Amino acid sequence: MAKKMISEMGLPKSISNIFTARNIITAKDALSHTEFELMELLDVGMSEVISAISHISELVSPPSQTALLLMEQRVCNESLAGHLPTRLKGLDEALCGGIPFGVLTELVGPAGIGKTQFCLKLSLLASLPANFGGLDGHVIYIDVESKFSSKRLIEIGMKSFPEIFHKKGMAQEMAGRILILRPTSLSEFAESLHQIKISLIHQHVKLLIIDSMAALVLGEYDCGASRQQALGRHVSFIKSLAEFSRIPVVVTNQVRSQIGDEPLMYSFQAQSHSRKKDNHATYDSHLVAALGVNWAHAVTIRLVLEAKSDQRFIKLAKSPISPPLAFPFNITSSGVVLLDDNGIEMKGPEINSIHCQGQNALFNF
């Protein structure tokens, strides 16, 4: 609109000719000057300049939209109102529908806690036919640590969706919709991302999973600026993929030990340092998410998976729209199952703390 010709904007002929004579041809040319500059250039009065600029601005400015209209347009354009339901009722309600489209959702927790189990279930949900509540699309699953199990995927499908998976050939069809990539280095990963951008358009991809980002970055770079620079480049590209394609992007992250007086990640975690020392014995672990603060700011949703007092929890640690809640869960033959849909509201730094005590005996299949 900025390149729209002033001569085509319906201004009075006299003022339009003056603009043309002074080589002010487009709306951008006119709006690049102040009103006083235009008075001098055009040699006309202030009232005429204000009238002309108001008319030009009205024609080239984008129309305003209400928040309600934007929401209705998104609901109309995106299946399931822009979310991939996890089928975990309490978590879906807290997230206003499930894993959101167009942003990064992070799963962080210690090894063996259930991050890959969660990702396998999401893969199935994205590939399910629409009449069964799925996205009816393909999934790109970047399996960095070779943890993806086709056998486990089919087991989850058989137990969770028997009406689909017991039909002849349906298990093979669902599994065939999930494309597995196993890059062994960041350079291979970067190449995969550029291929993915093409696939998002041509192969009806509805979900991207990266399991895990930490394994790629931590395995190739030592601590320091080079790691953060590489991570920054890749996370920017991943975020652009999510925004460009309007699909959910789920990334898993590992944990590491917290270092002595290391600063806490968020301002609301800044409890009294002396109190933290006093409570040292009450914590069964001192773990934090890997990849650092810049990475933490890049993700929109952070789900912390932890084990504490012989019980697993999914904690909604970061969300622009949801309260900080913790949901107890088990892993069964049908995947991740919540034990309570109401959730436990958590305040202060506890929502971001990560425990891994007593998780070895928590598999229920």
List the helix and strand counts (H, then E) for the chain: 15, 14
Structure tokens given for 93: 């309600």
Q: State the pLDDT at residue 259.
A: 62
Task: Tell me how far apart the alpha carbons of residues 179 and 139 are, in angstroms, rounded to a whole number.
Answer: 6
Q: State the pLDDT at residue 223.
A: 59
Please report the sign of the dihedral spanned by the C-alpha atoms of residue 287, residue 291, residue 292, residue 293: negative
Q: Given 3.40.50.300, 2.60.120.920, 3.40.50.11540, 1.20.140.10, which CATH number is that of 69-363?
A: 3.40.50.300
pLDDT tens across the length of the chain (365 residues): 668 888 888 899 999 999 999 999 998 899 899 999 999 999 999 999 999 999 988 888 877 778 877 667 666 655 556 899 999 999 999 999 999 999 999 999 999 999 999 999 999 999 998 888 888 999 999 999 999 999 999 999 999 999 888 888 888 888 899 999 998 888 888 888 878 877 777 778 999 999 988 887 776 655 556 767 777 888 888 888 888 888 999 999 998 887 655 555 444 343 434 444 444 444 444 788 888 888 888 899 999 999 988 899 999 999 998 899 999 999 999 999 999 999 999 887 888 888 887 544 343 44
How many CB atoms neighbour CB 129 within 10 A?
A: 14
Among 205, 242, 247, which residue's Cα sits nearest to residue 83? 247
Report whether 315 contacts 91 (CB < 8 A). Answer: no
Rounded to two decimals, the pTM is 0.72
Q: State the pLDDT at residue 282.
A: 41
Report whether 113 contacts 306 (CB < 8 A). Answer: yes
Q: State the pLDDT at residue 225.
A: 64
Please report the sign of the dihedral spanned by the C-alpha atoms of residue 111, residue 113, residue 119, residue 124: positive
Concatenating the DSSP letter of every residue in 86-148 gives: -S-HHHHHHTTSSEETTSEEEEE--TTSSHHHHHHHHHHHHHS-GGGTS--SEEEEEETTS--
Domain edges within the chain? 6-60, 69-363
